């Protein structure tokens, strides 16, 4: 059971917009800690996609965007492309745990 | 270009030990906090532990499932991060990733390609 809750799967057709939610609590996202997102393409290592709730590292297309409100965060992908098919993970910090960070369980994005 | 290259994985029996290495290049390793994150087969990501830069104290923290069994260390002269794993259990079977850690915002910036550790009799 992950501290951050994500839907196991989402899907969309090419060109569509999809969102992936990440729900936390008052000891993590709701406490004001930043949310970060990672993309893991099949068979590869995770890659930083969004940091600090809504910032994109150099090289990440602006089709990817992040937002945070209250105890939740969201990743939005517009203009869906076949190469976006991957697992997506949110990550934050939890003040009730002595850890370097907590991850969501991951969401599998399928491009139909 | 940032590179993190893990090595040292393999098959080990329960109760055994293994040491992973991570060779870093392309950034100022000595000034960077580093972490290990693992992923069990077909599962999600799990933080294993981290080590601060020596200028920030050089101490390490660990996730509860590995505390007391795993030790993270670093050799700044060799730009190398280590993960010493003792008393291994079958549930430690996973791909282990070496990552750089941005302590200001708390994210894992760069990732290695990962190394598989299989604990089985």
Split chain A (112 residues) into runs of 10 and give each run's mean pLDDT: 93 97 95 96 97 96 97 97 97 83 95 94
| Averaged pLDDT for residues B76-84 | 98
What is the per-residue pLDDT across B91-121, written as a single tens digit (0 to 9) for each? 999 999 999 999 888 999 999 999 999 999 9
CB-based contact (8 Å) between B45 and chain A? yes
The confidence score (pLDDT) of residue B11 equals: 97
Residue A34 is nearest to which of B44, B105, B111, comparing CB atoms? B105
Q: How many angstroms away from the CA of B24 is the closest CA of chain A?
A: 16
- The answer on pLDDT for B78 being more than 80 is yes
Chain B positions touching A98 (Cβ under 8 A) are 61, 64
User: Residue range B20-30: average pLDDT?
Assistant: 97
Share the mean pLDDT of chain B: 96
Q: How far apart are the first and last CA of chain B?
A: 40
- Assess B111–A contact: CB distance below 8 Å, yes or no: yes
So what's the pLDDT on residue A41?
Answer: 97
Distance of residue A79 Cα from the nearest chain B Cα, in angstroms: 25
pLDDT tens digit string along B3-14? 999 999 999 999
Distance CA B113, CA A1 (A): 26
Contacts of B35 in chain A (CB under 8 A): 100
Q: If you average pLDDT over residues B6-25, what whole number do you get?
A: 98
Put simply, the answer to whether B107 touches A102 (Cβ < 8 Å) is: no
**Predicted local distance difference test score (pLDDT) of residue A98:** 67
Point out the residue among B35, B64, B106 whose CB comes nearest to the CB of A33.
B106
3-state secondary structure of B95: strand
Helix and strand tally (H, E) in chain A?
A: 0, 9
Q: Which residues of A touch B5 (CB under 8 A)?
A: none
- C-beta atoms of A99 and B63 within 8 A: yes
Report which secondary-structure segment, H or E, holds A19. strand A18-23
Task: Give the span between the Cα atoms of A71 and A31, in whole angstroms.
Answer: 8
pLDDT of residue A100: 72
Pick A48's closest partner by Cβ from B63, B109, B112. Answer: B109
Phi, psi of A70 (to 5 degrees): 60, -125
Using a pLDDT cut of 70, give the percent of chain B over it.
100
């Amino acid at each position: 059971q992950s501290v951050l809750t994500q839907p196991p799967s989402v899907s969309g057709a090419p060109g569509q917009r999809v969102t992936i939610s990440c729900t936390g609590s008052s000891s993590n996202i709701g406490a004001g800690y930043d949310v970060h997102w990672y993309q893991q393409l099949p068979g590869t290592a995770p890659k930083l996609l969004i940091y600090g709730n809504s910032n994109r590292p150099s090289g990440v297309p602006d089709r990817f965007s992040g937002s945070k409100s209250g105890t939740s965060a969201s990743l939005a992908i517009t203009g869906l492309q076949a190469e976006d098919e991957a697992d997506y993970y949110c990550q934050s910090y939890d003040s009730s745990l002595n850890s370097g960070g907590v991850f969501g369980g991951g969401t599998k994005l399928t491009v139909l | 270009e940032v590179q993190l290259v893990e090595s040292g994985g393999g098959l080990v029996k329960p109760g055994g030990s293994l040491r992973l290495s991570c060779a870093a290049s392309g950034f100022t390793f000595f000034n960077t906090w580093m972490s290990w994150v693992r992923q069990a087969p077909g599962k999600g990501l799990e933080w294993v532990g981290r080590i601060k830069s020596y200028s920030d104290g050089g101490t390490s923290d660990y996730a509860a499932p590995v505390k007391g069994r795993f030790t993270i260390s670093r050799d700044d002269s060799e730009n190398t991060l280590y993960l010493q794993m003792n008393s291994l259990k079958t549930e430690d079977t996973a791909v282990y990733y070496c990552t750089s850690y941005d302590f200001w915002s708390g994210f894992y910036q760069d990732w290695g390609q990962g190394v598989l550790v299989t604990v089985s009799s």
